[in-house]
Structure 1
Amino acid sequence: MPKKKKIGSYPNAMIVMSLTAALFLIGFCGLLVIQSKKLVSIIRQNIEVRVFIDKEVTKAGQDSILTVLKTKPYVSAAIETPTPITFVSKEEAAKEFIEGTKEDFTAFLGENPLRDSYRVKIGEDYFEESKLQQIKKDIETIKGVYEVVYQEDLADNINRNVTKIYAVLASFALIMLIIIVLLVNNTIKLAIYSQRFLIRSMQLVGATNGFIQRPYILRGAMQGTIGGVLAGGLLIGLQQVAVRNVEGLAMLQEYDKIVILVAVVLALGIMIGIASTYQSLARYLRMALDDLY
């Protein structure tokens, strides 16, 4: 004999599962945004401007150029770049070139035509093509500097592609949020629908709307909390598995922002649970008796 449902039974598991899935997808989009921003930040911190020095400049002249470079506001001051200015001798530059190309150009040239140089890492705030052009012109005015070189158009290409990625992720997250809120709202509406006669009975014995709503809204908040905690746990679990199995992913982790993301997911779950429950209840509290059937 099939087991009968008790009066007032409520599909808690179904609602919690819907909320968990919804919040996990939203949180996953947020996790992608956090890690993509960190990746872009690392790329920007490693962009270098190469300052080539005149061959006639002495050691004292090189030190003078270094002193001037250290005073420039555009030189990176980030903690991740403790040595924003690096000196590269022409011998080191030749060695790097030979290792990269596997060709010893000094064998047929008979000399090393390269120059001593400084490699300067630029702050993230100056990562724009127009600002890099200004930096190039500014450094070239320093006495003893032969030429300033950087990868032109790289900044604009990176900024343009990053903007596209953020736009796609933001659009996807917004669409998912709308779809998910509608689905969760419908799930809660179906759950409240099963309670419509119980709600009407409470009204008939004189219960106020606030008295009727209170336990349902508290239940909605609890369901949102459980869904948020489960979604947050899944996000952290997925992140830890990815860090352990994907080489180099650990450097993209910003745990303080991930904690904030989990807190936002939890708060969003509570808000969705409360708002959807309140909206669904309001409908049945105003409904005429004949409409309940």
Structure 2
Amino acid sequence: MSLGYVIKEGVAGFKRARLASFTSIFSLFIAVLLLGVLARVSFNVYQVANALKQSIDVEVFLVDLDERTTREIRGKLEEEKLVQSLSYISKDSAAAIFREEFGAGGESLADLKFLPASFRLKINSEASVSQIDSLVTRLEDYRGVEEVRFNQQLLEMLQSRFETVAMAGGGIGLLILLAAVILVFNTIRLTIYAKRGLIKAMKLVGATNGFIRRPFVVEGIIQGFVAGLAAILVMYLFFLFLLPEYIPQFGVLEWPFGRWYYLCGAMLFLSIFMGYLGSLWAARRFIKKTSVSDE
């Protein structure tokens, strides 16, 4: 079959069902735009959650130890896979921090050097609450460790909120995808119905289902392509110019993988695929029914 014929017939489908085609393209546009915004916002929420998790330190307080035992504990801590980095705070340093935070009123207490030496651990941002809790339990068994502290409640809240957002976003995304594919399906169905006489004639002269189906599939792909380009344009202008104008903080947030074109390329591919899927589904179902009824 000529590629030119397939494309020509695919484009002609817009003229036969203009309102349905516009509705399908607009629906795909809204669906892909919403999914793009959802992906961008979810990525930024993930970034913020990771930044907050990185600000939660695990503090390992020590009893009075000699320098050799302190080095041994440091070596063990550095071997822990979840520990990204650590810093040692001596009793003198702890007293200096206390003096700085409490000012003149804390001078006399700071001079007593009652605060213990400690290690402050930066934990891998990918670590879950259960993994950190397990790490804390192990650290408490180290010889020379007096106490281990970390803000478990805050970390549990962050993880819970992010999981809720991810699940809600995934559910909404699936509903949007399904609705858009069904609208493309209905548009192609109407086009096939409008051409049922021509399909019957083509069947009578021996045309195969695949031959008849291809222009309809091309029509769905074109719808997806147009909708995807429109969604990318709006998405790009919205996040690059409009939103930072009113909420400057959004101007410093990153695009997924650091570049705008990765997400926008995925949006275009998804839109084309949805158009292809919906049109192929409709063409296979209704062209087959037409041939059966003609026999």
Global fold match (TM > 0.5): yes
Q: CA–CA distance in 2 between the matches of 1:121 and 1:251? A: 23
| Structure 2 CA distance for partners of 1:249 and 1:151, relative to 1, 3 Å | farther
- Residues 45, 124 of structure 1: 8 Å contact kept: yes
Alignment-derived partner of residue 254 in structure 1: 256
- Residues 15, 188 of structure 1: 8 Å contact kept: no
Residue 75, structure 1, aligned to residue 69, structure 2: no
Residue 45, structure 1, aligned to residue 54, structure 2: yes
Q: CA–CA distance in 2 between the matches of 1:187 and 1:74? A: 53
- Residues 59, 120 of structure 2: 8 Å contact kept: yes
Q: CA–CA distance in 2 between the matches of 1:110 and 1:161? A: 43
Instruction: List alignment gaps of at least 5 residues for structure 1.
Output: 1-6, 77-83
Structure 2 counterpart of 1:266, which letter? L
C-alpha displacement of 1:49:
0.8
- Residues 39, 252 of structure 1: 8 Å contact kept: no
C-alpha displacement of 1:119:
0.7
The normalised TM-score by structure 1 is 0.74
Alignment-derived partner of residue 145 in structure 1: 145
Q: CA–CA distance in 2 between the matches of 1:121 and 1:92? A: 18
| TM alignment of 1:230-269, pairs within 5 A | 230-241=230-241, 242=243, 245-247=247-249, 250=252, 253-255=255-257, 261-269=263-271
Instruction: List alignment gaps of at least 5 residues for structure 2.
Output: 1-11
Residue 57, structure 1, aligned to residue 60, structure 2: no
> Can you list the C-alpha shifts for 1:223-254, whole angstroms capped at 9, x where unaligned?
21232233234334433345674427635543
SS of aligned partner of 1:247: helix
Q: Number of matched residues?
A: 276
Q: CA–CA distance in 2 between the matches of 1:264 and 1:184? A: 19
C-alpha displacement of 1:36:
2.5
SS of aligned partner of 1:105: helix
| TM alignment of 1:209-288, pairs within 5 A | 209-241=209-241, 242=243, 245-247=247-249, 250=252, 253-255=255-257, 261-281=263-283, 282-283=285-286, 286-287=289-290
Alignment-derived partner of residue 79 in structure 1: none
Identify the range of structure 1 (183-192 vs 240-249) with the bigger mean alpha-carbon deviation.
240-249
- Residues 31, 258 of structure 1: 8 Å contact kept: no
C-alpha displacement of 1:120:
0.5
Q: CA–CA distance in 1 between the matches of 2:128 and 2:173? A: 27
| Structure 2 CA distance for partners of 1:262 and 1:105, relative to 1, 3 Å | same
| Structure 2 CA distance for partners of 1:159 and 1:143, relative to 1, 3 Å | same
Q: CA–CA distance in 2 between the matches of 1:194 and 1:97? A: 81
Residue 23, structure 1, aligned to residue 32, structure 2: yes
The normalised TM-score by structure 2 is 0.73
- Residues 188, 277 of structure 1: 8 Å contact kept: yes
| Structure 2 CA distance for partners of 1:97 and 1:239, relative to 1, 3 Å | farther
| Structure 2 CA distance for partners of 1:73 and 1:201, relative to 1, 3 Å | same
- Residues 96, 110 of structure 2: 8 Å contact kept: no
Q: CA–CA distance in 2 between the matches of 1:196 and 1:94? A: 87
Q: CA–CA distance in 2 between the matches of 1:141 and 1:156? A: 23
Q: CA–CA distance in 1 between the matches of 2:207 and 2:259? A: 45
Identify the range of structure 1 (208-217 vs 194-203) with the bigger mean alpha-carbon deviation.
194-203
Residue 120, structure 1, aligned to residue 134, structure 2: no
Greater helix share, 1 or 2?
A: 2
Structure 1 residue runs of 4+, over 6 Å off? none
Identical columns (%): 25
Identify the range of structure 1 (205-214 vs 40-49) with the bigger mean alpha-carbon deviation.
205-214
Structure 1 counterpart of 2:124, which letter? G
Alignment-derived partner of residue 105 in structure 2: 104
SS of aligned partner of 1:39: helix
C-alpha displacement of 1:222:
2.2
| Structure 2 CA distance for partners of 1:143 and 1:182, relative to 1, 3 Å | same
- Residues 184, 279 of structure 2: 8 Å contact kept: no
Q: CA–CA distance in 1 between the matches of 2:213 and 2:138? A: 68
| Structure 2 CA distance for partners of 1:132 and 1:13, relative to 1, 3 Å | closer
Alignment-derived partner of residue 80 in structure 1: none
